[in-house]
Amino acid sequence: MLQQSIKSFIQQDQQIQYLLHLADNALILSHRNSQWCGHGPILEQDIALTNIALDQLGQARNLYQYAALLITEKTGISTTEDQLAYLRDVGEFKNCLLAELPNGDWGQTVLRNFLMGSYQFFLYQELQQLASGQLKAIADKSIKEITYHVRWSADWVVRLGDGTTESHARMVQALELLWSYTGEMLEPCDYEQGLIGTQSSYIKAAWEAKIAAVLAEGNLVHPTNDWMQSGGKKGLHTEHLGYLLAEMQFLQRAYPGLEW
Amino acid sequence: MEATIVKDKEKSIWNILETVCDPEIPVLSIIDLGIVRAVQVNEISDTVELTITPTYTGCPAMDMIGAQIRLALAEAGYHQVNIQQVLSPAWTTDWMSESGKQKLQAYGIAPPVATNFNQVYLEDLEIACPNCGATNTKLVSEFGSTACKALFQCKDCLEPFDYFKCH
Ligand SMILES: [Zn+2]
């Protein structure tokens, strides 16, 4: 468990909450993608997704390190990236629900990466303009990697959507399942307001245009339902996150402070 | 006088860093890669301050590179070394030295072709095969054996090869 005093501090500091939200998105998506390691449909794609997971883990680490540094400076209590990743419980994680859903099949996995990667791309593009200091630096660095991720996942969405009867049907199914989890990314919550509040309309419009273009190219009908799930950003998660954390955090929980 | 000594020390440190290799592509030194951004010697505290930029955020080689730098400098008598990692300006393949690119080519990895990162689609690039030199090559996968590489195949000699991606 994270020290109570750090926990209380995080609850009151919107900047830290925002950094943890960004970091949690990257970490949880990375963890899901890493679960494909050794199970990809062909070797090249197994390697591709593992590489993407590694990039996302790197992004998460930069964000946790920055958050840990700020917490240490502001509270005087030494805090590390590992504590933030491994010692927080479900209700303290602030990732979007989309990141934590199970992988499903390959189609569902590439679609999730496309929907979320596109959002991260436009978000980091905004952060390059709006943020300063270390957060801007992280955005500058991350967007280069995310550019490659989105190209890769968009290619797959088109290939499977516009592929065989079977692959098309799988993509339709995946789209139906994931769509209601996309709205949460585009709806800023209180701790996001300060930094990107007024700019969120750009992110939303750019994301919608990108998604519409790729779905059309992949011969996939754009979903019309607009009822959206939410809660992840505030710590209200699906039942899946607890299982994910149990596996991911096991070592640090069982052997606190263990290092390689 | 003192300023000259510091300058000489810094120059010798740059030379030592030429001998520290990327653990994943051992023909490249970290100078070839362009990840060393600054070297400063503080005479008063007898400390070496290094600034390095990671190639990729998740690059597992960075920790090892840090350890190798410390080892190489310790052998030369520099025991107090601070290594600071900075993310901005973000590392780019433009920082790779010309000799580094030639070493990559000779090693069998096609070097990055200088071009604007944002406009690059890998399938549109003309990448020469490091084995036979033919430009009749095709993209196999945008992600290769490590995060920094993509996988290509030569359609002339049929050899698969890594291409160091622009970043
Ligand atoms: Zn060839």
Question: What tens digit of pLDDT does each residue of B61-70 get?
Answer: 888 899 999 9
B90-118 pLDDT, tens digit per residue, is 888 888 999 999 999 999 999 988 665 55
Contact list in B for residue A127 (CB cut-off 8 A) is none
CA B41 to chain centre: 23
- Domain of residue A222: give its range: 4-254
Which residues on neighbouring strands pair with residue B52, listed in sequence order? B36, B85
Computed over every residue of chain B, the mean pLDDT equals 88
User: Residue A139: inside a domain, yes or no?
Assistant: yes
User: Residue A163: inside a domain, yes or no?
Assistant: yes
A136 contacts B143? CB cut-off 8 A: no
Q: How far is the CA of B140 from the centre of ligand 1 (A)?
A: 14
Pick from B150, B116, B113: which is nearest to B135 by CA? B113
Residue of A nearest to B117 (CA): A144
Strands B109-110 and B160-164, by their bridges, are: parallel
Q: Which of A110, A144, A145 to mutate to test the interface with B (most CBs of B within 10 A)?
A: A144
Shortest distance, CA B39 to any CA of chain A (angstroms): 21
Q: What is the pLDDT of residue B24?
A: 85
User: Residue A259: inside a domain, yes or no?
Assistant: no
Q: Where on the phi/psi map is residue A139: left (φ > 0), alpha (ψ -120 to 50), or beta?
A: alpha
Shortest distance, CA B46 to any CA of chain A (angstroms): 27
Query: For residue A249, what are its two tokens?
Result: 């955090």
* Contacts with B136 (C-beta within 8 Å, 6 or more apart), sequence order: B129, B154, B155, B156
| B117 CB within 8 Å of a chain A CB | yes
Q: What is the pLDDT of residue A198?
A: 58
B165 contacts A148? CB cut-off 8 A: yes
- Say how far apart CA B60 and CA A163 lie, in whole Å: 36
Query: For residue A211, what are its two tokens?
Result: 């998604």
Coil/strand/helix, residue B36 = strand
Q: Phi, psi (5° rounding) for residue A86?
A: -105, -15
To the nearest 10°, report the CA torsion of B32, B38, B43, B46.
-70
- Say if residues A156 and A114 touch (Cβ distance below 8 Å): yes
Q: What is the pLDDT of residue B89?
A: 85
Q: What is the pLDDT of residue A260?
A: 72
- Say how far apart CA B28 and CA B19 lie, in whole Å: 9
Q: Structurally, how many domains does chain A consist of?
A: 1
ipTM: 0.74
| A62 CB within 8 Å of a chain B CB | yes
- Say if residues A54 and B147 touch (Cβ distance below 8 Å): yes
Task: Return the CATH number at A69.
Answer: 1.20.1260.10
Query: For residue A208, what are its two tokens?
Result: 């919608």
CATH ID of B2-91, from 3.10.640.10, 3.30.300.130, 3.30.1490.190, 3.40.50.1220: 3.30.300.130
Cα angle B64, B68, B73 (rounded to 5 degrees) comes to 150
pLDDT mean by block of 10 residues, chain A; 260 residues: 92 96 98 96 92 94 96 96 96 98 98 98 93 92 92 96 98 98 94 74 94 98 94 97 97 87
Residue of A nearest to B148 (CA): A51
* The one-letter amino acid at B74: A
B90 contacts A141? CB cut-off 8 A: yes
Where in the sequence of chain B do the CATH 3.30.300.130 domains occur?
Answer: 2-91
- Say how far apart CA A258 and CA A253 lie, in whole Å: 9
Q: A173-176 long-range contacts, Cβ below 8 Å, gap at least 24?
A: A173/A107, A173/A108, A174/A104, A174/A105, A174/A107, A174/A108, A174/A111, A174/A112, A175/A111, A175/A215, A175/A220, A175/A223, A176/A223
